[in-house]
Amino acid sequence: MEVKIGVQHAPREIVLESGQSPEEVERVVAEALAGKSQLLSLVDEHGRKILVPADRLAYVEIGESAPRKVGFGAL
C-alpha cells in the first residue's frame, strides 16, 4: 500500500510502498502524534526503515497502491 508523509518545512513529501496494513500504519501514526513515540517509524516493501520526527509531521496519507502501467496504451 502507498503511504505519503508530509514533513513541515520540507519542499517534498515522502512516498513509500509499505507491506504494513492500513490499520497498522494508522496506529503507528496515532501513537507518534499522541506523544507515545518521538519518531514515526515505518518499513517499506524493501525492508528499509523510514523515521520521521513526530513533531515535524504535517500529514500522512494512507491509500492503496495503483497498479503500474507499462507501455503506450491509450489513457
Per-run averaged pLDDT (10 residues), the chain, 75 residues = 94 92 93 92 93 95 75 67
Closest CA to 50 of 58, 64, 39: 39
pLDDT computed for residue 31 by the predictor: 94
pLDDT computed for residue 70 by the predictor: 73
Measured distance CA(31)–CA(47) in Å, rounded:
21
User: The whole model's pTM is what?
Assistant: 0.79
pLDDT computed for residue 64 by the predictor: 79
pLDDT computed for residue 33 by the predictor: 92
pLDDT computed for residue 10 by the predictor: 93
